[in-house]
Homo-oligomer: A and B are copies of this chain.
Amino acid sequence: MTAEIITIGDEILIGQIVDTNSAWMGKELSRIGIEVVQISSISDNTDHILAALGLAKDRVDIIFITGGLGPTKDDITKRTLAKYFDSELIINAEVLEDVTNLFKAFDVEMIEVNKKQAEVPENCMVLRNEKGTAPGMWFEERGKIYVSMPGVPYEMKSMMKEQVLPKLKNDLDLPHIVMHTVLTQGIGESFLGEKIAGWEEAVAKDGIKLAYLPSAGSVRLRLSITSRDLASAESLVKNHVLQLEKIIPGYIYGNEEEDLPKVVGKLLQGKGLSVSTAESCTGGYIAHLLTQYPGSSAFYKGSMITYSDDIKTDQLAIDPIIIEQKGAVSEDVAIGMAESVRIKMNTDFAISCTGIAGPDGGNEEKPVGTVWIGISGNGSAYAKKYRFGGDRTRNIEITAMTALNMLRKEILKLT
């Protein structure tokens, strides 16, 4: 089963936004056995949209359209779809109710243009939008499926996850795609490749595709195989994952779509433990990662972001003489920060970091990318020195990930 994604909007063509929707959709569709063979980004223009739809229907079985559904005048997807299907725009009562309720809930008066959001082509099945006002639309015409969704990423994603993907899985006879992602931290892509070269060959011999997916401070390894025999494909993948765990046990922190903050949060919550952070160079990013998912109040209590040296002294009682002698980026300061915040916040564990995120502030002894990460808890406190790279954003990210992995290992020491 093949698909094309059509994204509508000049903002992608002129490079004002990067099209992340298509990548997300491509990944989700691959996962259920639908092969995306083309992504076409086109302008907000009736003729161009009609032409793209006409070409896509000859190429693939399913056409996904995102963008061009908002309330303002530059949105023409809906009218064009009505034209394409030779259908009429009609007010859909359910959508009108959804939109009206949304405005009521926010205590905002509805204007005429918002009512227009409830208009859809007569021949569509409406996909209700739980996150916004523009409805999605599902069409079936001459053996092809067309799914039109808003371009706002979180609206599109919610619609895909709740409605579109389940319906595709239910309606179509799709092959099974077994995928498994192993998450690693603390080893670069090329070194990882060298370490697991033999395993990689064995995986390939069994018809499993392997992909390296590097992101800041983490490399994900994705195994995938398409098969009609679900059980044997699953057991094949499972066996190879077990093998891999034996080869690089220290680097694996989890599986699948979990990310490290989620893994750490679950570990803490499962053991009834709490954490706080004292952050300098990460400026609150570790706290943000720990609190991004629901339920974080079960294990996360609070943080001190001590960016300036004064604040390190005033709020975390770091001796100014130590800062002067050893520098703010030093083992003693990292340990002091972790100890101090753990006691202040009364938590089981604390993470700290102090470093030079860059691009300025480095010197020969402590170049940009030098970071001390401290851990307090489990009856001890220590800090480790790292030297990451020259890029500020990446240094902030990799410091946070490395700190969380240190904490994860510390938690695992508890029985």
Contact = CB atoms under 8 A, between A and B. Distances in A.
Interface of A: 9-20, 22-28, 30, 35-43, 48, 52, 55, 70-74, 106-108, 111, 113-114, 130-131, 133, 152, 154, 158, 179, 181, 189-191, 193-194, 200, 209-214, 220, 222, 224, 277, 279, 282-288, 290-297, 300-308, 310-311, 314-315, 344-346, 358-360, 387, 389-394, 396
Most buried by B among A283, A305, A389: A305
A227 B11 CA distance: 19
Nearest to A109: B191
A221 B198 CA distance: 54
A13 B39 contact: yes
B214 A152 contact: yes
Contacts of A152: 214
Copies in the assembly, this chain: 2
A154 B391 contact: yes
B40 A12 contact: no
A407 B257 CA distance: 36
A108 B107 CA distance: 67
Contacts of A15: 22-28, 30
Contacts of A311: 301-302, 345
Contacts of A291: 282-284, 305, 307, 396
Contacts of A20: 18
**Interface of A: prevailing SS:** mixed
Top 7 A-B pairs, shortest CB-CB distance:
A283-B291, A15-B27, A284-B284, A284-B287, A15-B26, A303-B305, A39-B41
A287 B297 contact: no
Given A74-B211, A284-B284, 16 more contacts: A11-B211, A12-B26, A12-B39, A13-B37, A13-B39, A14-B30, A16-B27, A22-B41, A38-B41, A38-B42, A39-B41, A154-B394, A288-B288, A295-B360, A302-B306, A314-B346
A193 B72 contact: yes
B72 A190 contact: yes
A73 B38 contact: no
A82 B387 CA distance: 35
Contacts of A14: 26-27, 30, 36, 179, 224
A212 B72 CA distance: 8
Contacts of A200: 73
A294 B358 contact: yes
Contacts of A17: 23, 213
Contacts of A36: 13-14
Contacts of A393: 154, 292
A113 B71 CA distance: 54
A215 to B, nearest CB: 8
Nearest to A200: B73
A411 to B, nearest CB: 19
Contact of A70 (B38, B133, B214, B285): B214
Nearest to A389: B131
Give the interface centre of A14, A107, A306 by most chain B CB atoms within 10 Å: A14
A10 B301 contact: no
B70 A212 contact: yes
Contacts of A113: 190, 193-194
Nearest to A133: B190
A46 to B, nearest CB: 14
A111 B194 contact: yes
Contacts of A391: 131, 154, 158
A80 to B, nearest CB: 16
A304 B304 CA distance: 5
Contact of A302 (B70, B193, B301, B305): B305
Interface-centre pick from A19, A20, A179 (highest chain B CB count, 10 A): A19
